[in-house]
Structure 1
Amino acid sequence: MGLLGILLGLGLLVWLSYRGWSVLVLAPAGALVAAALSGEPLLAHWTLTFMTSAGGFVAQFFPLFLLGAIFGKLMDDSGAVHGIAQWLTDLLGSQRAILAVVLAGALVTYGGVSLFVAFFVLAPMAQAVFRVADLPRRLIPAAIALGTFTFTMTALPGTPAIQNAIPMPFFGTTGFAAPGLGLLAAAIMLGWGLWWLGRVQRAARQAGEGYDPGPLASPPTGDPLVRERGSTATHFDPAELTHRPPAPDLPGIVRALLPMVVVIAVNLLCSLWLLPRLDTSYLADARFGGIGLSHVAGVWSVILALAAGIAVLLVLQRPRLHHPKASVAAGANGAALPVLSVASLVGFGAVVAALPAFAVVRDWVLGLGGSPLVSLALSTNLLAALTGSASGGLTIALDALGPTYLELARLHGIDPALLHRVAVIGAGTLDSLPHNGAVVSLLAVCGCTHRESYRDLVIVAVVGPIVALVAVITLGSCVGSF
C-alpha cells in the first residue's frame, strides 16, 4: 500500500497540476495521500516533514529568487533587454532571423534575466524580424526556447539560472562545475537546434510557406493557468511583468550589456578567487550549522554577482528608471510565488522520501543504468518530466538522493562537479513536455498552439539536450570531469 500511495500522490500532483490547480495546494495534498496510504501520521508529516523541507529550500534559495527577480525586472523596465534584442536584430539582419532570436535569448538569460521577462521582449521582436524575413510564425517558439531554456539554463558554466544553483549545496560545487563538459554540451544543444531550425526553414521555403500574420498574444499575465505553471519554471511571477512599463527610450548597447557582464564576472571572481581566500572558519560554529565553505560558496557567489549587477544597473540606468522603487517592489513580489511553488514540490518529495516504501523506489532508481551518472540523469529526467519543472524535479531528486549519489561518487572516484553538470542537464530535458510552465507560457505569448509549434520545440528543447546529456555522461565516464 505504501508504494501505491506514493504513485497515487504523484499522479494526483501531475494530473491536477495539468488541469490548472495550484501547486501550493496539490503538493501537500499529494503528500498527505501518500502518507495516509502508508499508514503514517498525517499532521506530523505535513507540519514537520513537509514544512521543514520546504522551509529549508526557501531559507537556502530565496535570496537567489529575490535578487534574480529584481535584476530581471530592472533590466526590463530600463529597456536594457529590449535594447539588446534590437541591437542583435539590427546586427544580424532579417537574413539571419532565427539566429538573431536565438542569440538574443541566450545573451539575456545567461546574463541573469528571467525566462518570462525574456519571453515578453523576444516574442514581439521575433514577430517583426520573421515578418521581414517571410519565415513561418510557427517557428518563433522553438527559436526562443533554444536561446532561453536549453544551453544557457543548464550547460554554460556560471549561468545564474536557479537550476544551476540547486546542486551546489548538495555536492559542494560552484556554478562553474565541469566547465569544459558544460561548454561541449552547450555547443551540441546550440548546433543541434540551429541545424534543425535551418532544415525546417529551408523546407518551408521550398514549400512556399511564408509568414502567417496571426495574432501575437498579449502577455497572459492574468491567466491563472499560465501563472501557476509558470511559477514553477522560473524565478519570476508573470503577474508582476506589467506593473511598470519599460522605458520609452532604449539604452546604448554598452550600457545595456554591462550589468550582465558584471553578473558573470563577479560570479566567476567570487567562485574561483575571492571566497576561497576569505577566512570563513566561523562557519564551523554550531550557530551557523557547523558547515564548510563548500556548502555555501556557490550560492554566495551568485548572490554577490546579482547584487553587484543590480547596483551597476541602478547607477547606469537611473535616468530611464523613472520609478525604481516600484520596479524593485515588483521584482521582489515576483519572487514570492515561484519560490513557494518550488518549495512545495520539495516538501512533497521530502514526505515521499520519509515513507518506508520509498526504500523500494530508491533501490530501483539507484539501479537504473548501472552507473551513478546514468541513474542520476534518469532520476532527474523522470521527476522533471512528472512535475513539469526542471527546478522542482531536480530539487526533489537531490533532496531525496543527493547524499547517496555523493557517496557513490566517492566510491567510484567520480568528481562531484561531474555529478553537478549531469544533474542540471538531466533536469533540463524532459521538463519541456506539453504541461511545462515555460512551454505553455511561451506558446501563449507567441500566439501559437501546441499543434503548430510543439514538434519543433521538442526537437530543440528535448532531443538536443538529451544528445548533449549522453555525450557528457559518455565523455565524463571515460576521462572524468574537466
Structure 2
Amino acid sequence: MGLLGILVALCGLIWFAYRGWSVLLLAPAAALIAAAFASEPLLAHWTVTFMAGAARFIAQFFPIFLLGALFGKLMDDSGSVMAIAHFMAEKLGARRAILSVVLAGAFVTYGGVSLFVAFFVLAPMAQELFRASGTPRRLAPASIALGTSTFTMSALPGTPAIQNAIPMPFFGTTAFAAPGLGLVAALIMLGFGMCWLIWAERAARRRGEGYGDAPTATVDVTADQPIRERAATAREFDLAEIPHGHRADAPNIFIAALPLIVVVGVNLVMSLGVLPRMDDSFLAEERWGPTTLAAVSGVWSVIVALAAAIVTVIALNWRRLTKIRESVDAGVTASALPLLSVASLVGFGAVVAAMPAFAAVRTWALSIEGGPLVSLAIATNVLASLTGSASGGLTIALDTLGETYLRLAEQGGIDPALLHRVAVIGAGTLDSLPHNGAVVTLLAVCGCTHKESYLDIVMVAIVSAILALVAVIVLGSAFGSF
C-alpha cells in the first residue's frame, strides 16, 4: 500500500500542477496522501518532515533566488539585456538570424540573467530578424531555448544558474565542477542544436516556406495564472513581476556586458582563489552547526558574484534606473513564488523518502546497471520530467539519494565534481517536456503552438542534452573528472 500511495500522490501532483493548480497547496496535499496510504502520522509528516525539507532548501538557496531575480530585473530595466540583443543582431545580421538569437540568449543567461527576462527581449528580436531573413517563425522558440535553456544552464563551468548551484552543498563542489567535461557537453549541445536548426531552416527554404503568418497569440503570459504557476516551478523568476518597474533606453555594449562579466569573474576568483585560502576554523563553532567550508563555499561564491554584479549594474546605470525602488521591489518579489514552489516540491520529496516503501525505490535506483553515474543520470532525468522542474527534480534526487551516491563515488574513486556535472546535465534533459513551465511560456511569448515548434525544441533542448550527458558519462568513466 505504501508504494501505491507514493504513485497515487505523485500522479495527483502532476495532474493538477499541469492544469495550473498551485504547487504550494498540491505538494503538501500529495505528501499527506502518501503518508495516509502508509498509515503514517499525517500532521507530523506535514509540520515536521515536509517543512523540514522545504525549510532546508530555502535556507540553502534563498540568497541565490533573491539575488538572481534582482539582478535579472535590474539588467532588464537598465536596458542592458536589450542592448546585448541588439548588438548581436547588428554584428551578425539577418543572414545569421538563428545564430544571433542563440548567442544573445547564451550570453545573458550565462551571465546570470533569468531566462524568463531573456524571453521577453529575445522573442521580439527573433521575430524581427526572422522576418527580415525569411526564416520560419516557428523556429524562434527552439532558437531561444538553445541559447537560454541548455548549455548555459547545465554545462558551462561557472554558470550561476540555480540548477548548477544545487549539487554544491551535497557534493562539496563549486560552480566550476568538472570544467573540461562541462565545456565538452556545452559544445555538443550547441553544435548539435545549431546543426538541427540550420538543417530545419534549409529544408524549409527548399519547400518554399517563408516567415509565415504574424503571431496570433494574445495571451498575456505575465497575468495568466496557470502559466504563471507552471513557470514558478520551472525557473527562478515570477512572470507577474516582468511588467513592473521601468525599462530605460539601452546603454552602450560595454556598460551592458560588464555586469555579466563581473558575475563570472568574481565567481571564478571566489571559487578558486579566495575561499580555498580562507581560514575556516570558525565553522567548527557550535553556533554554525555541523557544516564545513566545502559544503557552503560554492553557494557563497555565487552569492558574492551576484551581489558584486548588482552593485555594478546600479553604479553603471544609476541615471537610467529612474524608478530603482520599483525595479528592486519587483526583482526581490519575483524570487518569492519560485522559491516557495520549488521548496514545496522538495518537501514533498522529503515525505516520500520517509515512507517505508521508498526503500524499494532506492534499491531499484541503485541497482541500475552502469554504476552510480548512470543511476544518478536516470534518477535526475525521471524526477525532473515528472515534476516539470529541473531544480525541483534535482533537489529531490539529491535530498533522498545524494549521500548514497557520494558514498558510492568515494568507494569507486569517482570525483564528486563528476557527480555534480552528471546530475546537473541529467536534470536539464527531460525537464523540457511539453508541460514544462518554461516551454509553455516560451511558446506563448513567441506566439507559437506546440504543433508548430515543439519538435524543434525537443531536438535542441532534449536530444542535444542527452547526447551531451552520454558523452560526459563515457568520458568521465574513462578518464575521470577534468
TM-score bracket, shorter-length normalisation: over 0.9
Q: Tell me which residue corresponds to 1:240.
A: 241
In the other structure, the counterpart of 1:472 is: 472
> What one-letter code is carried by the residue in structure 1 that aligns with 2:13?
L
Question: What amino acid is aligned across from residue 296 of structure 2 in structure 1?
Answer: V
Q: Tell me if the contact between 2:381 and 2:426 (Cα under 8 Å) persists in the aligned partners.
A: yes
Q: Distance in 1 between matches of 2:95 and 2:129?
A: 9
Q: Given residue 198 of structure 2, which amino acid in structure 1 is its aligned partner?
A: G
TM-score, normalised with respect to structure 2: 0.99
Q: For 2:11, what is the secondary structure of its paired residue?
A: helix
Residue equivalent to 1:381: 381
How far apart in 2 are the matches of 1:206 and 1:226? Answer: 36
Aligned to 1:165: 165
CA distance in 2 between counterparts of 1:370 and 1:201 reads 38
Shift of residue 369 of structure 1? 2.5
Partner of 2:189: 189
- Counterpart-to-counterpart distance in 2, 1:173 and 1:217: 43
Report SS of the residue matched to 1:242: coil
Contact residue 124 and residue 216 of structure 1 kept, 8 A: no
2:335 maps to: 335
Amino acid at match of 2:384: A
What is the CA–CA distance in structure 1 between the aligned matches of 2:176 and 2:389, rounded to whole Å?
Answer: 22
Q: Secondary structure at the match of 2:102?
A: helix
How do residues 31-42 of structure 1 correspond to structure 2 at under 5 angstroms? 31-42=31-42
Q: 1-side partners of 2:301 and 2:113: how far apart? A: 17
2:362 corresponds in structure 1 to 362
Aligned to 1:447: 447
2:421 counterpart letter in structure 1 = R
Q: Do 1:114 and 1:236's aligned partners in 2 also have CA atoms closer than 8 Å?
A: yes
Query: Number of paired residues?
Result: 481
What are the superposed Cα offsets for residues 208-238 of structure 1, whole Å, 9 maximum, x if unpaired?
Answer: 0001132265651000111101111111100
| Separation (CA, whole Å) in 2 of partners of 1:19 and 1:433 | 15
State the 1:287 CA deviation. 1.2
- Which residue is equivalent to 2:105? 105
Residue ranges of structure 2 left out of the alignment (5+ in a row): none
The residue number in structure 1 matching 2:232 is 231
Cα distance in 2 between the residues matched to 1:457 and 1:372: 29
CA distance in 1, matches of 2:118, 2:476: 32
Task: Report deviation, 1:115.
Answer: 1.0
Could you tell me how far 1:284 is from its partner in structure 2? 1.2
Give the unaligned 5+ runs of structure 1: none
Partner of 1:413: 413
Alignment of 1:141-220 (within 5 A): 141-215=141-215, 217=217, 219-220=220-221
Q: State the 1:291 CA deviation.
A: 1.5
Preserved contact between residue 55 and residue 343 of structure 2 (Cα < 8 Å) = yes
1:174 Cα deviation from its structure 2 partner? 0.2
CA change 1:121–1:216 in 2 (3 A) is farther
Letter in 2 for 1:220: V
1:366-418 Cα distance to aligned partner (Å, 9 max, x none): 11123100000000000000000000000000000000000000011000000
CA contact (8 A) 1:106 1:147 kept: yes
- Distance in 1 of aligned mates of 2:370 and 2:417: 20
Distance in 2 of aligned mates of 1:314 and 1:244: 14
Which one-letter code corresponds to 2:379 in the other structure?
Answer: S
Using the aligned pairs only, state the percent identity: 68
Counterparts of 1:424 and 1:95 in 2: how far apart (Å)? 34
| 2:435 aligned partner | 435
In structure 2, how many angstroms separate the alpha carbons of the residues matched to 1:137 and 1:464? 21
Q: Which residue of 2 aligns with 1:401?
A: 401
Contact 1:81 1:256 in 2 (8 A): yes
SS in 1 for 2:160: coil
Match of 2:2? 2
Q: TM-score, normalising length from structure 1?
A: 0.99
Deviates more, 1:387-396 or 1:283-292: 283-292
Instruction: Work out whether residues 216 and 445 of structure 1, in 8 Å CA contact, stay in contact via their aligned partners in 2.
Output: no
**What CA deviation, in whole Å up to 9, does each residue of 1:170-225 have, x standing for no partner?**
00000000000000000000000000000000000000000113226565100011
Q: Which residue of 2 aligns with 1:314?
A: 314
1:310: how far off? 0.2
**Equivalent position amino acid for 1:230 in 2:** A
> Which segment drifts farther, 158-167 or 9-18?
9-18
Q: Say which SS state the counterpart of residue 318 (structure 1) adopts.
A: coil
Quick one: which amino acid aligns to residue 9 of structure 1? A
Contact 1:153 1:161 in 2 (8 A): yes
**What is the rounded CA distance, in whole Å, between the counterparts of 2:217 and 2:84 in structure 1?**
22
Distance 1:217 1:281 in 2: 58
> Equivalents in 1 of 2:34, 2:384: separation in Å?
19
Q: Which amino acid aligns with 1:78?
A: S
Q: Deviations over 1:294-322 (max 9, x none)?
A: 00000000000000000010000111100
Which amino acid in structure 1 is aligned with residue 195 of structure 2?
W
Indicate the residue corresponding to 1:14 in structure 2: 14
**SS of residue in 1 equivalent to 2:174:** coil
Could you tell me how far apart the structure 1 residues matched to 2:375 and 2:150 are?
A: 21
8 Å contact kept, 2:245–2:324: no
1:290 Cα shift?
Answer: 2.6
Stretches of 4+ moved more than 4 A in 1? 216-219
Which structure 2 residues correspond to residues 24-35 of structure 1 after superposition, within 5 A?
A: 24-35=24-35
Q: Is the 8 A contact 2:262 2:305 kept in 1?
A: yes
AA aligned opposite 1:232: T
Structure 2 CA distance for partners of 1:384 and 1:480, relative to 1, 3 Å: same
Q: Deviations over 1:322-358 (max 9, x none)?
A: 0111111100000000000000000000000001000
- Residues 65-107 of structure 1: CA deviation (Å, up to 9, x unaligned): 0000000000000000000000000000000000000000000
Distance (Å, rounded) in 2 between the aligned partners of 1:146 and 1:216 = 23
Tell me, in whole angstroms, the C-alpha distance in 1 between the residues paired with 2:270 and 2:297.
Answer: 8
Task: Report if the CA contact (8 A) 1:111-1:160 is conserved.
Answer: yes
SS at match of 1:320: coil
- Displacement of 1:155: 0.1
Provide the rounded CA distance (Å) in 2 between the counterparts of 1:325 and 1:4: 50
Is residue 2:293 matched to residue 1:293?
A: yes
Structure 2 residue 254 is matched with structure 1 residue 254: yes
The alignment status of 1:69 with 2:76, answered yes or no, reads: no
Q: Is the contact made by 1:102 and 1:147 (CA closer than 8 Å) also made in structure 2? A: yes
Alpha-carbon distance between aligned partners in 2 of 1:481 and 1:412, rounded to the nearest angstrom: 13
